[in-house]
Amino acid sequence: MSPRLSALTLALLLTAAPASANVPGADAGNCATSLIGTPLTVPKYPAATQKILDEDIAIAAAALRIAPDREDSHIWYGRRLDYAGRICDAVDAFSAGIEQFPNSYKLYRFRARDLTRARRFKEALADYKKALELMGDTPDSFEPDGMPNPIGLTISTYRGNILYYHAQTSFATGDYPAVVDGMAKSLAVMPDFTRDDMHIGTAYWTYLAYRKMGQHGKARAAINEIEPGLKLIENFTYYQAVQIMQGRLDPVGFKDTRDSTIKFAIAMERRFAGDEKGAKALLTEIVRENPQGHWPSEAELAHPDRKAY
């Protein structure tokens, strides 16, 4: 299914599929509480943005009612719910899809991402492992973007994303060796033209994992591989965050930012430098200013000394 369809197509789909039809996950509750007990809500978007999100969900819901025997129908319904911030609804939608397509590595991949966002980390890790197992020797392919970058160029693949997000989620459980290993494997399978963008994100999490393990030399080596002047397609904030970690950018210049990736990097640098009060204050700020929280910050606040067993 195309990520965006015309208004005429929407009208035809809605005519063919009445609103009263049963769509899996449509009435499920929202994820309510962060790891530190703060309330979580569905984000409030500007009216124009919300209209687009609602239309996209309506299109995907109608397509699912018309063609429930298509894997893509389940995938795009879940993804559209995710983009609108309805994370637990998305989990339910992907779960319904998995019941019908139990061998779909794609459905497991997408459900895993939302399970992470729902703070169900162990279940998410199990889904990523299952996705990789089901994918097996299937040739890798680009994962369609539901929210394309400014030039409309897809840069990530299914296998690369499964490996990357499994590694990222492992940060929440304190399995830092899995973070390092998974990030390296993810980068290794990415196409050459995406390498600069992908290398920045993998370096960010590899650095944090090594620092959490106390392997500061390896952490420094991981981010020192990232050079100035990269030609990026989309990972601009990760690039700024890595440059803060490198000491090339002054955190003071980002005191007014609301970007969680950058603020988390600054908070962790405070923690690594021994400024525990400053780190906790910024981590808490990140969680509270985001309607859906920020699970890495929450994990650092709730379980700073976590380790995988």
Give the count of alpha carbons within 13 A of 133, CB side only: 9
Average pLDDT, integer, range 269-282? 98
Average pLDDT, integer, range 100-110? 98
What does the DSSP assignment read for the chain? --SS--HHHHHHHHHHS-TTS--TTTTPPPP-B-TTS-B--PPPPPHHHHHHHHHHHHHHHHHHHH-TT-HHHHHHHHHHHHHTT-HHHHHHHHHHHHHH-TT-HHHHHHHHHHHHHTT-HHHHHHHHHHHHHHHTTPPP-BPPPSS--TT-----BHHHHHHHHHHHHHHHHT-HHHHHHHHHHHHHHS-GGGHHHHHHHHHHHHHHHHHHTT-HHHHHHHHHTPPTT---SS-HHHHHHHHHHHTSS-GGGGTT---HHHHHHHHHHHHHTT-HHHHHHHHHHHHHHSTT--HHHHHHHH-TT----
Split into its structural domains, the chain has a count of 1
> What does the alpha-carbon distance between residue 297 and residue 291 come to, in Å, rounded to a whole number?
14
Looking at the DSSP bridge assignments, the partners of residue 39 are: 33
> What does the alpha-carbon distance between residue 67 and residue 297 come to, in Å, rounded to a whole number?
40
How many C-beta atoms surround the C-beta of residue 48 within 10 A? 8
> What does the alpha-carbon distance between residue 170 and residue 124 come to, in Å, rounded to a whole number?
10
What band does 29 get if pLDDT is binned at 50, 70 and 90? very low
Residue 8 in this model has a pLDDT that exceeds 90: no
Q: What is the CA radius of gyration of the chain?
A: 20
Residue 159, amino acid: R
| Structural domain span for residue 22 | 1-135
In a domain, 81, yes or no: yes
In a domain, 274, yes or no: no
pLDDT recorded at residue 228: 86
Check if the beta carbon of residue 257 is closer than 8 Å to that of residue 282.
Answer: no
In a domain, 295, yes or no: no
In a domain, 214, yes or no: no
CA 57 to chain centre: 19
In a domain, 105, yes or no: yes
In a domain, 66, yes or no: yes
Q: pLDDT tens across 176-215, in order?
A: 999 999 999 999 999 888 889 999 999 999 999 999 999 9
What CATH number corresponds to the domain at position 84? 1.25.40.10
In the chain, the largest separation of any two C-alpha atoms, in whole Å, equals 61
> What does the alpha-carbon distance between residue 11 and residue 9 come to, in Å, rounded to a whole number?
5
Average pLDDT, integer, range 45-61? 96
pLDDT recorded at residue 17: 37
Quote the mean pLDDT of the chain: 89
Average pLDDT, integer, range 153-159? 88
In a domain, 169, yes or no: no
How many C-beta atoms surround the C-beta of residue 228 within 10 A? 8
Residue 146 in this model has a pLDDT that exceeds 80: no
- What's the pTM? 0.89
In a domain, 193, yes or no: no
